[in-house]
């Protein structure tokens, strides 16, 4: 195994790491994500050049790129909800044209699951689910020791599985997608609904009395003061998170479910509730070994680190 570069191409930032063959991070860099496919590709090229130089790597060092959205087996970003206006972008092809054959591309959550499996909370588990609860939901699935990509590369997108057909509208065009509930945006939405029903006084006060200004961070901050109404929103979030965890466990029977993303920083306010509810929602829970539900080990760098691990995999 040789050193590699891993790039997490996010909606707002590009986070990249140079990783030694032992998994040690040699250098990290972070840049804002430019708009438009041309500037986006050039930004990745610049980031790779910067890291290669800073870490003193061979110019032919392999590069892994993780990107949010539907990435097919050829590395084409079919649909990237976080990259406005970008559809059917041949990310792998365009980057190989600029950087050579050393580039591999996968979905960001599929990269994050590799990091958790190699040196994180899923280490030692042949069957694992990694869920990143951020603005939306990213998911990486490991079955029998292999990252599941599906027939066309698009497996593992439970965030847009509909859990309530009459639920709130989702930017994807459907209603009641799981990530309308079990994500940062979900917490904010449920909090706005509660505020418009004359609850959440303390959260509203923090946001200048405007329900539309409420973010998940506001709910967490107020819940931390012991506010019961803010905690009730997090309990609701935990219930919906548990529903998806139980549904995925019903399908895949993992030994661990790893939860990451921005909300995990407040795990002390909701993770135990997820653990309490999962058995209620999973068939035969008294007669089976339940998956452990644990916090992610790697933070915001998980996808970049996993992209570097992807680049190190034999082609
Ligand atoms: Zn949706």
pLDDT tens, position by position, 48-89? 999 999 999 998 899 999 998 899 999 999 987 767 778 899
Distance 63 CA to ligand 1 centre (A): 31
pLDDT at 171: 85
Distance 158 CA to ligand 1 centre (A): 9
Which positions of the chain have pLDDT values less than 50? none
Distance 159 CA to ligand 1 centre (A): 7
Query: Is 57:41 a contact under the CB 8 Å cutoff?
Result: no
- The pTM assigned to this predicted structure is 0.91
Q: How far is the C-alpha of 145 from the C-alpha of 127, rounded, in Å?
A: 6
Distance 202 CA to ligand 1 centre (A): 30
pLDDT at 12: 84
pLDDT at 21: 86
Count of Cβ atoms closer than 10 Å to residue 251 Cβ: 11
pLDDT at 152: 94
How does DSSP classify residue 177? B
* Residue partners of 115: CB distance under 8 A and separation at least 6: 298, 301, 302, 303, 305, 306, 309
Distance 251 CA to ligand 1 centre (A): 20
Distance 260 CA to ligand 1 centre (A): 20
b/e sequence 43-78, b meaning 16+ C-beta within 10 Å: bbeebbebbbeebebeeebbbbbbbbbbbbeebbbe
pLDDT at 135: 83
Using alpha carbons, select from 243, 250, 221 the residue that is nearest to residue 233: 221
Distance 89 CA to ligand 1 centre (A): 21
pLDDT at 1: 53
């Amino acid at each position: 195994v040789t050193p590699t570069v891993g790039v997490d191409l996010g909606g707002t930032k590009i986070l990249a790491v140079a990783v030694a063959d032992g998994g040690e991070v040699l250098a990290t860099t972070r840049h804002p994500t430019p708009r438009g496919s041309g500037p986006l590709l050039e930004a990745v090229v610049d980031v790779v050049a910067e890291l290669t130089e800073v870490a003193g790597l061979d110019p032919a060092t392999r590069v892994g790129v993780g990107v949010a959205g539907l990435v097919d087996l050829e590395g084409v970003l079919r649909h990237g909800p976080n990259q406005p206006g970008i559809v059917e972008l041949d990310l792998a092809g365009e980057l190989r044209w600029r950087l050579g054959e050393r580039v591999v591309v996968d979905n960001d959550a599929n990269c994050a699951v590799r990091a958790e499996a190699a040196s994180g909370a899923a280490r030692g588990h042949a069957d694992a689910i990694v869920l990143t609860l951020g603005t939306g939901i990213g998911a990486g699935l490991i079955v029998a020791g292999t990252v599941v990509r599906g027939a066309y590369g698009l497996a593992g997108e439970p965030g847009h599985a509909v859990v309530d057909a009459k639920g709130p509208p989702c930017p994807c065009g459907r209603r009641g997608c799981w990530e309308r509930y079990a994500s940062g945006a979900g917490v904010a939405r449920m909090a706005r609904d509660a505020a418009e029903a004359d609850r959440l006084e303390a959260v509203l006060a923090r946001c200048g009395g405007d329900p539309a200004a409420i973010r998940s961070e506001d709910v967490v901050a107020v819940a931390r003061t012991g506010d019961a109404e803010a905690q009730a929103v997090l309990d609701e979030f935990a219930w919906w998170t548990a529903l998806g965890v139980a549904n995925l466990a019903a399908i895949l029977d993992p030994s661990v479910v790893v939860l990451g993303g921005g909300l995990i920083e407040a795990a002390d306010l909701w993770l135990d509730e997820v653990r309490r509810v999962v058995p209620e929602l999973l068939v035969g829970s008294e007669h089976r070994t339940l998956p452990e539900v644990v916090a992610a080990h790697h933070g915001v760098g998980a996808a970049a680190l996993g992209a570097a691990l992807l680049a190190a995999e034999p082609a």
